[in-house]
């Protein structure tokens, strides 16, 4: 599978010199509509980022060649590779490479400025197939105009060149994890793809922040506007905007919080932090202590003075500040002043503005505290993070990592990662639909809530208690069920509300979550299209073209003699339909073993939905194939287990998790500029044998984590 992908890609890369980049566009036409993670996979096609960087930093070919020469040594020494069998003379190989290949492929195989054709992930055998097989070298040299033809380098020449390339060029081997993921040789200094931004708190973040600041447990955001979602994620700052409704809702919440603060000044966290009540000093202390917690940074002197005015707004004009030396007056002062702090943009948004550093901006210590905190616990920085920021102890990757590890070690950290997973799986509480009670009587709100619990429980168990490996998310061999779901699914005999491991052969793993089956279904019927599209877009990160306009999209009629799959034959018989449906229909049909409510079924029961009469029972046809899973790889499967196996092993599903996590952490709409950051995170993930915690923490080690542009 992987080999086929990489060979295809490298055959693109090694195409005729004179072909240049444009010849490959037809081969990658689908990738033009894909998002960033598939761009990583297919990025071995012509314009590699390294060649782009080179061309951007230099205006002459010779200087490009000179500058890349110096990196040759470090590239080869830092990336020891396993040489293929056979004897090579690297000096001879180098000479032959320079004679036959360099003019097009460049000094390090990354391509030259005029012909950016990198040598990618091909391995010794692939190179021999190209060179000794009579395809390479070929074309007209862009610098000298020399004509190259395949017979110029065959036999031992091809062998020596292949040996030289595989020993010296990173990315040219087909043996490691890196090439399997289609890495294109991004530098670890990936720059700053993310723009400086204001990130509006989500409802969840808002509520968590307030409750953490004051030690409360209040419901505050029930009537707030729901966020827009980007690939399931509610925290995309690009699409969040404050409208009049938001301000009203914020004020309403601030008022409630303020009332609770006034009542609780001497108890709980408030009492501990303040240790006082009822006088001017205490009002000042309130601002000193809670101002920085609310703004997630120290207040400036100007801010302190300005906000103090709010706190003394009820002091009569003929009175001095000493008026507040009265317990009721002090309490009123907090009532007048606290809403102002809570309505400030410095509370409502977490800033990622940074300080200028070279061409980029580096996030401030306190911005880093917020980024780490909202990433790993979905809330405002705790005292340890604020203290670290105050002390200038949040400036190194090691420091970021230490806090990330500390927070992931807490229940809250683990819950927050489960929250990430639920948004990645795009099947949260707000998305799981109602069902027709005439057919799904036992499906109720409690089941829906437990279905969300099931996803969280599995993610946490795999990541923090079991192997920690990616593959277990797809093929755990067990399900995490509570009593509600155990009863509803008819699997196991769990008797408590605690999610418990239930070994069974019906369900377990992402593809069998009740939440996904139920949210991608109508009130009566399962939806193979919605389910297949979900797998393609959310789990493989392969976005599909938008629905065509101006065409009829008829829903197939119910025919009691035909199972769902047979009713969708229009999709495969009409080439206009099939152009898109071929990517996801089979996947959806494999998931037909779950009905609209998420229950497992052996047969599809055909009902007359109006009369509720059962008409027929038909076998479910699950066998099919997944196409274009890694590049143009395709795999057949017999059933859902087979599909899960494919997903477990596919590069695209692994790198998709990376992409989705990166999307969640960074909180904006991704573009091509994020490719190298994601690729470097993919490397971290791959190097750990796809250990999830390593991925979760690994993002803090990216250069781009703390840099903005």
Site for another protein in 530-549 (CB under 8 A): 546-549
Q: Which of 90, 125, 238, 543 binds another protein (CB under 8 A)?
A: 238
Site string for another protein, 433-472 (x = CB under 8 A): xx-x--------x--xx-----------------------
Q: Which of 89, 288, 415, 430 contacts another protein by CB under 8 A?
A: 430
Measured in whole angstroms, the distance separating CA 503 from the mean position of its chain's CA atoms is 29
Spatial distance between the Cα atoms of 243 and 259, rounded to a whole number of angstroms: 25
- Whichever of 62 and 252 has its CB closer to another protein, that residue is 252
Q: Which stretch binds another protein (CB under 8 A): 99-107, 208-216, 313-321, 578-586?
A: 313-321
Q: What are the start-end ranges of the H helices in 558-639?
A: 564-567, 569-573, 575-581, 585-590
How many residues in the shown chain lie near another protein by CB under 8 A? 87
CA distance to 215, 241, 273, 285, 653, per residue, from 270 (Å): 7, 32, 5, 11, 47
Q: Among 2, 104, 240, 591, which residue sits at the site for another protein (rule: CB under 8 A)? A: 240
Pairing of strands 635-637, 500-503: unpaired
Considering the complex, state which of residue 316 and residue 392 has its C-beta at the smaller distance from another protein.
Answer: 316
Of positions 312, 350, 456, 565, contacts another protein by CB under 8 A: 312
Q: Give the 3-state secondary structure of residue 676.
A: helix
Tokens of residue 337, six digits: 């002043």
CB of 463 to another protein, least distance (A): 25
Provide the minimum distance between the beta carbon of 473 and another protein in the complex, in angstroms, as a whole number: 24
Q: Is 570 in the site for another protein (CB under 8 A)?
A: no
Q: Are 664 and 420 in contact (CB under 8 A)?
A: yes
Site for another protein in 637-666 (CB under 8 A): none
**197 touches another protein by CB under 8 A:** yes
Cβ closer to another protein: 486 or 519?
A: 519
Among 29, 219, 602, 619, binds another protein (CB under 8 A): 219
Of 539, 511, 685, 497, residue with least CA distance to 598: 511
Q: Which is nearer to another protein, 100 or 520 (CB)?
A: 520
Closest CA to 160 of 119, 127, 137: 127
Asked if 431 touches another protein (CB under 8 A), the answer is yes
For 142, the 3-state DSSP assignment is coil
The residue with tokens 């573009």 is 671
Q: Are 371 and 363 in contact (CB under 8 A)?
A: yes
Nearer to another protein, 239 or 621 (CB): 239
Is it true that the peptide bond before 406 is cis, omega within 30 degrees of 0? no
Classify 49 as helix, strand or coil: helix
Residue 276 CA to chain centroid, in angstroms? 46
Nearer to another protein, 65 or 448 (CB): 448
- Residue placing its CB nearer to another protein in the complex, 310 or 466: 310
Contact between residue 242 and residue 348 where contact means Cβ atoms under 8 Å apart:
yes
Cβ neighbours of 269 (radius 10 Å):
14
CB of 447 or CB of 640, closer to another protein: 447
Taking the complex as a whole, how short is the minimal distance between the CB of residue 346 and another protein, in angstroms? 6
Report, in Å, the least distance between residue 569 CB and another protein: 17
Select the span of 9-17, 99-107, 235-243, 395-403 touching another protein (CB under 8 A): 235-243
Query: Which positions from 355 through 384 interact with another protein, judged by CB under 8 A?
Result: none
Residues 686-705 that bind another protein (CB under 8 A): none
For residue 70, the minimal CB distance to another protein (Å) is: 35
Contact string (CB under 8 A) for another protein, positions 323-342, x = contact: ---------x--xxx-xx--
Q: Which residue in 133, 228, 477, 490 binds another protein (CB under 8 A)?
A: 228
- Report d(CA 653, CA 535) in Å as an integer: 9
Q: Can you read off the two tokens belonging to residue 400?
A: 């970021």
Compute the distance between CA of residue 655 and CA of residue 2 in angstroms, rounded to an integer.
14
344 lines the binding site for another protein (CB under 8 A): yes
Report how many helices (DSSP H) and strands (DSSP E) the chain contains, helices first.
34, 13
Site for another protein in 245-264 (CB under 8 A): 245-249, 251-260, 262
Determine, following the binding rule CB under 8 A, whether residue 207 of this chain makes contact with another protein: yes
263 Cβ contact list (under 8 Å, min separation 6) = none
CB of 322 or CB of 345, closer to another protein:
345
CA angle 44, 46, 52 (to 5 degrees): 100
| Span 470-529, contacts to another protein by CB under 8 A | 522-525
Q: How far is the CB of 559 from another protein (least distance, A)?
A: 12
To another protein, the closest distance from the beta carbon of 242 in angstroms equals 4
C-alpha span between 223 and 87 (Å, rounded): 72
DSSP code per residue over 677-689: HHHHHHHHHHHTT
By CB under 8 A, tell whether 268 contacts another protein: no
Q: Binding another protein by CB under 8 A: which of 80, 318, 551, 619?
A: 551
Report whether 425 contacts 515 (CB < 8 A): yes
Report, in Å, the least distance between residue 222 CB and another protein: 5
Closest CA to 360 of 191, 197, 186: 191
The closest of 512, 507, 459, 501 to 657, measured between CA atoms, is: 459
- Which CB atom, from 334 or from 646, has the smaller least distance to another protein? 334
Q: Which of 38, 50, 211, 351 binds another protein (CB under 8 A)?
A: 351
The tokens of 250 are what? 């914020």
What stretch of H or E contains 529?
Answer: helix 528-534
β-pairing, 614-619 vs 603-607, is antiparallel
The only residue of 1, 310, 544, 639 in contact with another protein, by rule CB under 8 A? 310
| Beta carbon nearer to another protein, 52 or 242 | 242
């Amino acid at each position: 599978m992987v080999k086929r992908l990489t060979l295809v890609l490298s055959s693109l890369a090694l195409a005729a010199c004179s072909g240049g980049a444009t010849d490959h566009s037809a081969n990658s036409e689908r990738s033009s509509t894909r998002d960033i993670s598939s761009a990583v996979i297919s990025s071995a096609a012509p314009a590699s980022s390294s060649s782009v960087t080179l061309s951007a930093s230099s205006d002459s070919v010779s200087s490009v060649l000179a500058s890349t020469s110096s990196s040759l040594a470090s590239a080869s020494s830092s990336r020891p590779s396993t040489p293929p069998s056979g004897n090579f003379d690297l000096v001879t190989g180098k000479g032959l490479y320079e004679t036959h290949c360099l003019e097009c492929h460049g000094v390090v195989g990354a391509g030259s400025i005029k012909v950016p054709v990198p040598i990618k992930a091909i391995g010794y055998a692939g190179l021999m197939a190209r060179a000794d097989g009579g395809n390479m070298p070929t074309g007209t040299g862009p610098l000298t105009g020399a004509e190259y033809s395949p017979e110029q380098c065959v036999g031992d020449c091809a062998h020596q060149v292949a040996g030289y390339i595989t020993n010296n060029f990173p990315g040219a081997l087909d043996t490691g994890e890196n090439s399997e993921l289609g890495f294109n040789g991004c530098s670890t200094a990936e720059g700053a793809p993310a723009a400086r931004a204001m990130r509006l708190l989500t409802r969840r973040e808002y509520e968590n922040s307030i409750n953490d600041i004051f030690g409360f447990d209040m419901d505050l955001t029930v009537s707030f506007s729901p966020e827009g979602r980007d690939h399931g994620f509610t925290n995309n700052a690009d699409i969040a905007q404050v409208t009049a409704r938001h301000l009203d809702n914020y004020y309403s919440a601030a008022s409630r919080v303020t009332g609770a603060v006034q009542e609780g000044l001497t108890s709980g966290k408030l009492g501990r932090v303040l240790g006082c009540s009822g006088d001017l000093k205490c009002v000042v202390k309130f601002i000193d202590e809670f101002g920085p917690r609310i703004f997630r940074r120290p207040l400036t002197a100007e801010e302190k003075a300005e906000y103090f005015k709010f706190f003394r707004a009820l002091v009569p004009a003929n009175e001095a500040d000493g008026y507040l030396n009265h317990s009721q007056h002090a309490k009123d002062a907090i009532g007048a002043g606290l809403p102002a702090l809570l309505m400030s943009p410095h509370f409502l948004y977490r800033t990622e503005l940074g300080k200028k550093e070279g061409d980029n901006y580096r996030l401030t210590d306190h911005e880093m505290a917020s980024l780490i905190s909202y990433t790993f616990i979905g809330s405002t920085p705790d005292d340890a993070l604020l203290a670290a920021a105050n002390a200038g102890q949040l400036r190194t990757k090691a420091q970021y990592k230490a806090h990330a590890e500390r927070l992931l070690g807490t229940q809250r950290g683990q819950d927050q990662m489960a929250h990430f997973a639920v948004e990645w799986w795009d099947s949260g509480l707000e998305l799981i639909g109602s069902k027709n009670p005439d057919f799904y009587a036992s499906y109720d709100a409690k089941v829906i809530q437990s279905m969300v619990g099931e996803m969280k429980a599995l993610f946490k168990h795999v990541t923090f208690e079991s192997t920690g490996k990616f593959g277990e998310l797809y093929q755990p061999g067990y399900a995490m069920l509570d009593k509600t779901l155990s009863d509803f699914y008819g699997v196991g005999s769990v008797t408590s509300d605690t999610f418990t491991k239930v070994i069974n052969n019906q369900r377990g793993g992402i593809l069998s979550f009740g939440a996904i089956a139920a949210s991608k279904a109508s009130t009566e019927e399962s939806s193979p299209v919605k389910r297949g599209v979900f797998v393609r877009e959310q789990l493989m990160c392969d976005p599909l073209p938008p629905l065509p306009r101006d065409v009829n999209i008829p829903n197939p009629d119910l025919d009691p003699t035909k199972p769902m799959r047979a009713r969708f034959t229009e999709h495969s018989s009409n080439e206009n339909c099939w152009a898109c449906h071929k990517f996801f229909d089979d996947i959806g049909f494999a998931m037909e073993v779950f009905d609209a409510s998420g229950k497992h079924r052996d047969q599809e029961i055909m009902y007359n939905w109006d009369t509720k009469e059962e008409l027929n029972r038909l076998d479910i046809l699950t066998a099919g194939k997944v196409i274009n899973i890694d590049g143009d790889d395709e795999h057949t499967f017999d059933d859902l287990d087979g599909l899960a196996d494919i997903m477990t092993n596919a590069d695209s599903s692994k790198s998709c998790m990376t992409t989705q996590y990166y999307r969640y952490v960074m909180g904006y709409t991704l573009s091509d500029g994020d490719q190298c950051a994601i690729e470097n995170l993919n490397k971290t993930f791959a190097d750990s044998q796809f250990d999830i915690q390593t991925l979760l923490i690994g993002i803090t080690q990216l250069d781009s984590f703390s840099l903005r542009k």
